[in-house]
Amino acid sequence: MGKARCTSFTARLQPLQTGQPANHGDNLEFLESLQQLCSTVGPSVGITQLDLVTPSTFDNQYYVNLLSGEGLLPSDQALAVQDPGTRAIVETYATDQSVFFEDFKNAMVKMGGIPGGSNSEIRKNCRMIN
């Protein structure tokens, strides 16, 4: 349920561009498809979904994608490969959507309780003040 420009994930393509070995867990076919997209339309124009499998559905597919090496953003893919603690969370969410939904719900309730004061606003477009 999000998109990113090629400029946001070019670091994920470095193994293909430099000939270096891929990071642990990278899906090379996925990276090649991203490289194709970005080279065809240009890095500042190319946009793709964060989740190519269920792009318009709120579900746990994002975490399944991370485990198969198909995290779009470098910071996202790092959740699954760089730290055993975050990998355990990714594995839990990938295998049990109800745990993900429950944790997401609790996080939203907690964020709703953050005091914003009179100068706060909920933006319709995150890049622009309402």
Q: What is the pLDDT of residue 24?
A: 58
Q: Angle CA(51)–CA(3)–CA(38) in degrees, nearest 5?
A: 95
Q: How far apart are CA 79 and CA 129, in angstroms?
A: 31
CATH number at residue 73: 1.10.420.10
Q: What is the pLDDT of residue 22?
A: 56
45-102 tens-digit pLDDT: 788 898 989 999 999 999 999 999 898 888 888 888 888 999 999 999 999 999 999 9
Q: What is the pLDDT of residue 29?
A: 86
What range does the domain containing 71 cover?
3-110
Q: Is residue 122 part of a domain?
A: no
- 62: Cβ contacts below 8 Å, ≥ 6 apart: 50, 51, 76
The count of structural domains within the chain is: 1
Residue with token string 């994608």: 65
Q: Angle CA(62)–CA(68)–CA(73) in degrees, nearest 5?
A: 55
Q: Is residue 10 part of a domain?
A: yes
Q: Is residue 115 part of a domain?
A: no
Q: Is residue 124 part of a domain?
A: no
